[in-house]
A and B are shown apart, each in its own frame.
Chain A
Amino acid sequence: MIGIFHYLALSVILFCIGLYGVLTRRNGIAVLMSIELMFNAANINFAAFSYYFKGASFVSGQTFPLFVIAVAASEAAVGLAIVLSLYRNRKTVNVDEANQLRG
């Protein structure tokens, strides 16, 4: 029987994978994808717990992911634009090579 804690465990694992990716991947695009994983981990929580609560508050749990998806899309759009602008200046999307600013 799959219970609420399975969902919670799944979302924690997904979040940790995303965080690991953000910290270790050097390609700007891959970092963006890892951030999406972190967002979706939170979405799983919302969806799972809104089903679990059922009462008056379940609507907010279900609407939250809808907004999050929209926000994640706009964030990805801006992020890709910035990566592209860096690529035009430096011919690289590697985050490590963006190191002109160091004091």
Chain B
Amino acid sequence: MKISHLIIFAPEIAVLSLALLLLILDWVTPKRKKVWIGYFSAIMILVFMGGFLCLAKNRFFPYAASFHGFIFDAFALYFKELFLLVAFLVTLFSVNFFKQEDEGQGEYYALLLFVTLGCFLLVSSADLLMLFLSFEMMSIPLYVMCAYAKKDSKSSESGLKYFLIGAITSALLLYGISLVYAATGTTNLHLFIDGLVSANKLAYNPILLLGVVLMLCAFSFKIAAVPFHMWAPDVYEGAPAPVVAFLAVSPKIAVIGLMTRLFLAGMQPLQPLWVFLFAVLAALTMTVGNLAALFQQNLKRLLAYSGIAQMGYILVGFASIQPFFKNMPTLQIGYQAILFYLAAYLFSDLAAFGIVTYLSAHGIEEIKSLKGLAEKNPMLAFLFLISLLSLAGVPPLVGFVGKFYLFLAAVSSKLYWLAVLGVVNSVISLFYYLRVARSMYFEKEEGVSIPYPSFSMQVALLVAIFGILAVGVYPFVITHLSIQVLTPLSNVPISHAMK
């Protein structure tokens, strides 16, 4: 390894240095000027996004490099751009959420970047040790962020609940990894996959199966798939709104990305088991998420259940992945649909959470207190409507295209019942999203007026709404990108290492 090879760690090094720089800045900034740390961080994140795009345009794009435990490839870069986008939007939301007298704002932005760094490493990990460490790197700062409003007992409770669930998740993941190590004798992912392929009987090794199922349980906890979803509504309700926006998107995308890599690159011998497991998980998650959302009064709880349902749709993509063999690699539509839907989820959910953050800063958290929002603040109401419709999957918004691809994947692998269930669920979801719209548009109430958002908030909301509309009307940007990103992964073995 030469020193010039460090360039493959460029994204991680950049984000880590920025986080450390923010800590130093926090130290020297006077208390009333803390908000500038947030703006500075947002601008630097934009610069990084541009820089990594240049890296991608350069010779690095089709290039896969791996060290022991770390892979840098186009797939990882796609996810890293998504995480940076999330970090950018959430930073702008937070700048508008926290008040001048709130404590610890400087460290908050650094913590946000540490979580982003954990997500970066998670989608790049090629070793179970790396996987575990980055999983923790992603989770631990988030516990702190959930409990960030120290004086608010709800926030502490939310932090405690997220911490306990997170610690159980880590323990399950770790025990799963230890069993996988016991069964295969390696923690390196590509050796582990080769081991599985060469000794097919390993696929029916009970220790291995148990280990893999425990790992799957841990992932399900993180993405809040039913039956591991009970924590989500409570944690979402108590935590500060911008933190919720963050924890609803970044870790979920990271875990789905990791699962995609595991499946595309390996675990193929266990395929028949997966298809069944994922189909059941997807059906349960969609249905329970949507049905429970029908009865929610609190906006954050509503979005929590809606997020659960969204993850159910993504699991449909996993269920529709066909068994595939090393000698005939084909790129399957299921993977593409997953990658596309992640982008769709990012834009729609962040737009919705952006508005919820803004409303929450003005003391509105219940659906019934949204009454008359359309008159008081038409722009905000309209943007909220668009984001909710995109989450529900109404054409021509991005959520519709994403669901279309996912259900198409299900149909193409003959899971007709799952596709039908998905469509039925989308119809159910329309009901509760429109209930929010009815409250905003058709119920009148005189009350406090809500001021127009500040410039930075407008920028953040418009970026998210622009994503919803642009990708919805012209989805080929992302589908084309997803083919480019996935093809090298399915053709080139991971063990193609940089020596």
Q: How large is the interface on A (under 10, 10 to 19, 20 to 34, 35 or more residues)?
A: 35 or more
Taking the nearest CB of chain A, how far is it from the CB of B457, in angstroms?
27
Kindly identify which residue among B159, B167, B181, B233 contacts A35, using a CB–CB cutoff of 8 Å. Answer: B167
Contact A42 B157, beta carbon cutoff 8 Å: no
Contact A61 B143, beta carbon cutoff 8 Å: no
A53 to B150, CA, bound (A): 48
Report chain B residues within 8 Å CB of A18: 171
Contact A41 B158, beta carbon cutoff 8 Å: no
Report chain A residues within 8 Å CB of B175: 15, 38, 41-42, 45
Contact A83 B301, beta carbon cutoff 8 Å: no
Contact B168 A35, beta carbon cutoff 8 Å: yes
Contact B153 A103, beta carbon cutoff 8 Å: no
Kindly identify which residue among A49, A85, A88, A98 contacts B181, using a CB–CB cutoff of 8 Å. Answer: A49
A53 to B154, CA, bound (A): 49
Chain B interface main SS type: helix
A67 to B161, CA, bound (A): 25
Contact A89 B160, beta carbon cutoff 8 Å: no
Cβ-based interface call for A101 (8 A): yes
Kindly identify which residue among A11, A41, A79 contacts B143, using a CB–CB cutoff of 8 Å. Answer: A79
Cβ-based interface call for B132 (8 A): yes
A86 to B149, CA, bound (A): 11
Contact A103 B132, beta carbon cutoff 8 Å: no
Cβ-based interface call for A95 (8 A): yes
Contact B171 A85, beta carbon cutoff 8 Å: no
Q: Which residues in chain B, 221-263, are within 8 Å of chain A measured between CB atoms?
A: 233-235, 237-238
| Stretch in B95-103, B182-190, B325-333, B470-478 with 4+ CB within 8 Å of A | B182-190
Taking the nearest CB of chain B, how far is it from the CB of A88, in angstroms?
8
Taking the nearest CB of chain B, how far is it from the CB of A94, in angstroms?
11
Contact B153 A89, beta carbon cutoff 8 Å: yes
Kindly identify which residue among B164, B167, B168, B301 contacts A95, using a CB–CB cutoff of 8 Å. Answer: B164
Taking the nearest CB of chain B, how far is it from the CB of A9, in angstroms?
12
By CB atoms of chain B within 10 A, which of A71, A102, A103 has the most? A103
Report chain B residues within 8 Å CB of A95: 160, 164
Cβ-based interface call for A20 (8 A): no
Q: Which residues in chain A, 22-56, are within 8 Å of chain B measured between CB atoms?
A: 22, 28, 31-32, 35, 38-39, 41-43, 45-46, 49, 53, 55
Cβ-based interface call for B151 (8 A): yes
Given A64-B187, A79-B143, A82-B143, A101:B156 Cβ within 8 A: no
Contact A85 B150, beta carbon cutoff 8 Å: yes
A22 to B163, CA, bound (A): 12
Contact B181 A78, beta carbon cutoff 8 Å: no
Which 9 A-B residue pairs are closest in the complex by CB-CB distance?
A89-B153, A38-B171, A45-B178, A42-B178, A101-B234, A86-B156, A42-B174, A98-B157, A60-B187
Task: Return 23 A-B CB contacts under 8 Å, by A number.
Answer: A8-B182, A35-B171, A42-B171, A45-B182, A46-B181, A49-B178, A49-B181, A57-B185, A57-B187, A63-B129, A64-B181, A64-B187, A67-B133, A79-B143, A79-B164, A85-B156, A95-B160, A100-B153, A101-B234, A101-B235, A101-B238, A103-B297, A103-B301
Residues of chain B whose beta carbon lies under 8 Å from any beta carbon of chain A: 127, 129, 132-133, 136, 140, 143-144, 147, 150-154, 156-161, 163-164, 167-168, 170-172, 174-175, 177-179, 181-182, 185-188, 191, 207, 233-235, 237-238, 296-298, 301
